[in-house]
Each structure stands twice: as structure tokens, then as C-alpha cells.
Structure 1
Amino acid sequence: MSEAWENDEAEYAAGIAHSINKGWDAVNDFYAAADALYTDADEPWTLPIYGGRPVPHSTDADPSNPPLMLLEPSGVSQAARFLATVSFDDLWNVVDARFTALGWTGQEHLEHHRDLQEFYGQAASAGHAVVKAVWA
């Protein structure tokens, strides 16, 4: 994943990668606000930012590499449905004061939201899984 991070422009151009340079916790907190908005939903109303099945590294792997998480195609489809349905404006209204106080902007999160909609939508349409790495 470290190599992929360094070569992300080629992977972005190929449509097979998306990254958020920092702030996964903030992105997770942003989407977790959906739980308060959609209390009567039939399925979980969160984006599985940290979800998926852990994929162990080989024994000779660089210990500085982050753990990998594999989100199976069904989880990718669930994430794509969530992102296509959730209202960005409604979520921002829930988190605005807290996020603004921390220096996060609505525009920054809107860009992440649109990128994630596109990425998960394409992956779900293709029946792909998603491999995630989160550096601390």
C-alpha cells in the first residue's frame, strides 16, 4: 500500500484508487451522524470507513505498513447505496458547529463525499471488493 500511495496518480487515472490524505476519523464522524438522522432505516446507516475483514501481512512484511482491511463486494454495494442516498446537507447540519470549531470545512467534506460516491459507485457496479489501509 505504501507503493500504491506513492503511485496514486496513475491509480486515480485508472479509476481504481481513492485516498483521503488525512482525516479519516473526521470522515467517519461525519457519516456516523447519519445514525441520528435515519433511525428507522432497514439497514445500517453508516459508511464502513473502518469496516471490512482484516488481511494479515506476510511474516516478512514491513512492520510500518498499516493493517489492510478487505471490504467484500456486498459491503461495497452497501456503502455505495448509503453514499447515493444520504443527504450531504443534512449530515453537515448535524456536524457543522463541531467540525467548524475544529477547522474542518463543509467544502472539504463535500469533495470527499463526491469522490467517495464515485469510487464506491464504480466499485459496486463492477462487483469489486475494496482494500483499505489507514495510516495513523
Structure 2
Amino acid sequence: MSIYLHFRAVGRSDIRDDHTWLAAFMSDAWEDHVDEYAAGIACSINKGWDFVNDFYAAADAPDAGADEPWNLPIYGGRPVPHSADADPSDPPLMLLEPPGVSRAAHFLATVSFDELWNVVGARFSASGWTRQELLDHHRDLQGLYGRAASAGHAVVKAVWA
């Protein structure tokens, strides 16, 4: 079974802060994900997004908190709560507002992938991850967040099973 964390950049004024509406929007985006990936407005990670977050956590400073930039690309943002009339099968959703997108983009643009790999690469290799897999995810996220930040967009995140 595959389970994906789907990221979609979108203009803040183009979305509603409503779970039912966002779930339908993200469902349509998922249907068009090949075209959206090619356009650079979406990406996804199959099953291993927690590992990608753990990889970025290697950049954590000893006194860092939950809102530190390394935490933003994967888990940053706020949950969009289900409304009373929402379909229970709708995915969990997160919304990262444009200021958070800018902070995530800055982190991804300035963090050294090679330095992170030097710190935690052996542990990730032992878990079955290759350097190239993590680098591909990093580049996808770096591109998505960089373009979204430049455009002043938010990023919506959905989990699809």
C-alpha cells in the first residue's frame, strides 16, 4: 500500500480555509499531479516523509523549538480541522502560510545537504535509504518551496492513502 504526503503551492487568495473545500481542491490537484509536478507547483513523498523530516532535524540547534525552519518543509503549518459535515474519508490537511513558506524556502536553500548527509547518512543508509533518494526529495522540496516563496504562495499538504 502506498501512502503519500502531497504538497501543493497555491496563491493564498485562491484558497478557502475550509477543510471540505481544501480536500476537494487537493483531490483535483492529486488527479493532475503529473502535470502539476511538471509545472513545479506540486511534489509528493511516498511513505518516507518522516525520514526526510528526521534528515532535516540534523540541522537542529540544541535550543531549537517546533517552529524552527528545519521543521517547516514537512510538518510546518497548521492543521485544517474537519468541519462537522466533512467526509470522514477526507485526508488530513495542513496549511503553511506564505511567511512560513518563505522561512522553509530559505532553510532549504541554505542548508548543506552534504553536511547533513555526513552527520546522519550512515543511519539513513542502514534504514535502506540511499543518498540519491534523499537528495531527490530535497531538490523537489527546494524547488517547490523556492518557487512558492517567490510568488508569495502558501503550501497545502495532504496525506493520501
Same fold (TM over 0.5): yes
Q: RCO higher in 1 or 2 (8 Å CA, sep ≥ 6)?
A: 2
For structure 1, list consecutive stretches of 5 or more residues without a partner in the other structure. none
Q: Residue 64 of structure 1 aligns with which residue? A: 89
Q: How many residues align?
A: 133
* Contact 2:95–2:157 (CA under 8 A) maintained in structure 1: yes
Residue identity over aligned pairs, in percent, reads 77
Name the CA distance, whole Å, in 2 between partners of 1:107 and 1:15: 20
Write out per-residue CA displacement over residues 73-131 of structure 1, whole angstroms, 9 at most, x where no aligned residue. Answer: 00000000000100001101111111111100110000111111110000000000100
Amino acid aligned to 2:99? S
User: Is the strand fraction higher in 1 or 2?
Assistant: 2
Runs of 4 or more consecutive aligned structure 1 residues displaced over 6 Å after TM superposition: none
Q: Residue 11 of structure 2 aligns with which residue? A: none
Q: Aligned-pair RMSD on alpha carbons?
A: 2.1
For structure 2, list consecutive stretches of 5 or more residues without a partner in the other structure. 1-25
Task: Determine which of 75, 82, 87 is the counterpart of 2:100.
Answer: 75
- The normalised TM-score by structure 2 is 0.74
Q: Residue 51 of structure 1 aligns with which residue? A: 76
- The normalised TM-score by structure 1 is 0.86
Amino acid aligned to 1:129? A
Task: Determine which of 116, 129, 147 is the counterpart of 1:104.
Answer: 129
